[in-house]
Amino acid sequence: MPSVDKLNFAIRKMGLDVNLDEVKRAYEFAAAAHKGQKRMSGDDFIVHPLETAVNLCEMKVDQASIIAGLLHDVVEDTDIPLSELEKQFGHEVAFLVDSLSKLKKVRYYGSPNYIENLRKMFVAMAHDIRVILIKFADRLHNMQTLDYMPREEQQRIARETLEIYAPIANRLRLGRIKGRLQDWSFRYLYPEEFRFLNNLSMRTYYLRDTNLAQTKANIEKLLTGEKIHVVSLHDRVKFLYSTYKKMLEHDMDITQIYDLIALRIVVPSISDCYSALGIIHRKYKPLKGRIKDYIAQPKPNGYQSLHTTVFGENGDIVEIQLRTPEMHEEAEYGIAAHWHFKERGIREYWDKRLSWVKELAHLIKNMENTQQFESMKIDLFQNRIFVFTPRGDVIDLPENSTPVDFAYHIHTDVGNHCIKCKVNEKPAGLDIRLQNGDVVEIFTDKKRAAPNIDWLKFVQTSLAKSRIKEHHKKKMSDWEENLAKK
């Protein structure tokens, strides 16, 4: 028998600030509404919303999201109208359920309305990020019960998850959710490779178990002996799909994958991270060229940690990741790590770091054909760089972006009137490729009437391209209109 206890347990485990009586009331409401309905697996339907809500806890969401997760299929699949939900659970929950119901019938992969459907999703996301988080939780449970679907559906859903949901989860830095979505897709899209890697990864893990435990114990003793407080120390096995992708680059040779097992060591401060690195290297010999300082140079998605690979006990190769508690939260839960910092303002964080979602929603809105969609897809899946304004604001751009892309990102007028720029305080060409961490200053001239049409040869973002084209189109039609009047 399904029971709300499982959800209560997940809520407590994640330490979420949620009223359990309200959750119970929503659960009972959903159970009554779906009474008699079954899943393909033969389970009572309520298992699905319940598991969706449990998955949501891992993203550290708020109470409204958990309740909306429990109720997410009610309006679509039962006779209960939205107005009743609003009366019972308030406007916020009703809004979330409504957004999800609208997205529910939406198919992305293989649908002729692909673009329109993606647009709907991004518009909903730009409006309220919680919609996509509930969607992830819903999709995750659907992936977990995919065995009961016909083979063709399995393939379609798995591909959609791998190509659309996982990259979005990655952009939102939901590392664990991304890994789980990818691994479930991997199981259905490449079943043989999945089984092979699953066995290999488990075997490697168990073979190394004793040495690993020894390495862990020794490192903990070593650091504590040097007065470094170890907040936590645990190992993680790499997700299978990302292991598979790495192996493809190394002729499927597992011995080339050094981070199959990693030790994550959380210490109180950044200086502790660097001290711990030195202490560990004194005892365990590091592999050449494997020390990576993602604290000084974060990855494009913002990931921070110190990485090194060492020969541990009995010569077993093990990767070590050193980080502060904040970096750890951020790496595991991404945007979700910021949920409970209400006072810092999720809005502010969202507006600054994730403006690309709004940009995309806007672009897709104005899209008519698949060719345009292709350029949007590139924007979404390409690696990103972070560059700065002279005031220190972070601007998130695709790799290979130029100062002109940067200028249009700031404002259309800045783009249209830009005449020259400085990168890291030195004059630079408007067509150079910006690097992660560059500080870019744009100079404009109001007298400059139009953007240079030649910029189209080097700009990277769809935003800059469409603004330049738009401008020239308008000029062209004005000119034609004037001609017609004469």
Contact call for residues 460 and 429 (beta carbons, < 8 A): no
Provide φ and ψ at 161, rounded to 5°: -65, -45
- Beta carbon of residue 34, minimum distance to Mn ion (angstroms, whole number): 11
57 or 364, CB closer to Mn ion?
Answer: 57
* Contact stretch for Mn ion (CB under 5 A) within 65-73, 127-135, 205-213, 391-399: 65-73
111 or 145, CB closer to Mn ion?
Answer: 145
> First-to-last CA distance in the chain?
81
Of the residues 22, 43, 44, 77, which is catalytic?
77
**Number of Cβ within a 10 Å radius of residue 351:** 11
6 or 39, CB closer to Mn ion?
Answer: 39
Residue with tokens 């209560």, as numbered in its chain: 8
* Contact status: 51 vs Mn ion (CB under 5 A): no
* Contact stretch for Mn ion (CB under 5 A) within 7-15, 134-142, 354-362, 387-395: 134-142
Provide φ and ψ at 323, rounded to 5°: -155, 165
- 76 belongs to the catalytic site: yes
Strand ranges, E, within 158-287: 232-237, 261-266
* Contact stretch for Mn ion (CB under 5 A) within 73-81, 285-293, 329-337, 447-455: 73-81
* Contact status: 58 vs Mn ion (CB under 5 A): no
Which single residue brings its beta carbon nearest to Mn ion?
A: 138
- Beta carbon of residue 103, minimum distance to Mn ion (angstroms, whole number): 10
Q: Which helix (H) or strand (E) holds 258?
A: none
- Beta carbon of residue 139, minimum distance to Mn ion (angstroms, whole number): 8
- Beta carbon of residue 259, minimum distance to Mn ion (angstroms, whole number): 34
73 or 259, CB closer to Mn ion?
Answer: 73
Q: Which helix (H) or strand (E) holds 243?
A: helix 240-249
* Contact status: 138 vs Mn ion (CB under 5 A): yes
By DSSP bridging, strand 232-237 and strand 306-311 are unpaired
Of the residues 28, 76, 116, 326, which is catalytic?
76
- Beta carbon of residue 433, minimum distance to Mn ion (angstroms, whole number): 43
- Beta carbon of residue 26, minimum distance to Mn ion (angstroms, whole number): 15
Which strands form 440-444's sheet, in the order they lie side by side?
A: 426-428, 418-423, 440-444
Applying CB under 5 A, the site for Mn ion has a residue count of 2
Task: Please report, to the nearest 10 degrees, the dihedral formed by the alpha carbons of residues 340, 343, 347, 350 taken in order.
Answer: -60
* Contact status: 330 vs Mn ion (CB under 5 A): no
- Beta carbon of residue 84, minimum distance to Mn ion (angstroms, whole number): 19
Rounded to whole angstroms, the Cα distance separating 333 from 327 reads: 10
* Contact stretch for Mn ion (CB under 5 A) within 135-143, 175-183, 300-308, 462-470: 135-143
* Contact stretch for Mn ion (CB under 5 A) within 17-25, 68-76, 391-399, 410-418: 68-76
Which 25-44 residues touch Mn ion, going by CB under 5 A? none
67 or 260, CB closer to Mn ion?
Answer: 67
Q: What letter represents residue 199's amino acid?
A: N
- 77 belongs to the catalytic site: yes
Rounded to whole angstroms, the Cα distance separating 155 from 385 reads: 33
Cβ partners under 8 Å of residue 214, min gap 6: 312, 313, 314
Rounded to whole angstroms, the Cα distance separating 297 from 24 reads: 45
Q: Which residues bind Mn ion (CB under 5 A)?
A: 73, 138
**Catalytic residue positions, numbered:** 76-77
